[in-house]
Amino acid sequence: MSTIDTIKEQISSHPVLIYMKGAPNAPQCGFSARAVQALMSCGEKFAYVDILQNPDIRTELPKYANWPTFPQLWVKGELVGGSDIIQELFDSGELQTMVSAATAE
């Protein structure tokens, strides 16, 4: 299975997925820490991929997503965005709505 196939499989298998540096309980950069904190505050289950442990995904995902940075939040197969966008959505209450809807189905 190619790295792109792996990425597509991960995105399609999880309603809420964050590609981040580190793990939710031990983020390895400030941007990932802020993003995952907002996501955890929504109170729903989500999947994550530690790109530091997956260098092929770290290399290929920005090309596939056409988004150069991490973290990357995917909800229902769609790229939501990175840390700033996640924080804006959280502050406005939209993130909770989006995550709740995705995990309810």
What CATH number is attached to the domain comprising 65? 3.40.30.10
- List the domain range (segments joined by +) for residue 44: 3-104
Round the average pLDDT of the chain to a whole number and report it: 97
Of all residues in the chain, what percent carry a pLDDT higher than 90? Answer: 98
Q: Is 29 annotated as a binding residue?
A: yes
105 class by beta-carbon count within 10 Å (0-12 exposed, 13-18 middle, 19+ buried): exposed
Q: Is 84 annotated as a binding residue?
A: yes
Residue 105 reports pLDDT greater than 90: no
pLDDT digits (tens, 9 = 90+) for 60-92: 999 999 999 999 999 999 999 999 999 999 999
Q: Is 32 annotated as a binding residue?
A: no
Q: Is 21 annotated as a binding residue?
A: yes
Query: How many domains does the chain contain in total?
Result: 1
Residue 97 reports pLDDT greater than 90: yes
Q: Is 76 annotated as a binding residue?
A: no
Distance in angstroms (rounded) separating the CA atoms of residues 66 and 47: 21
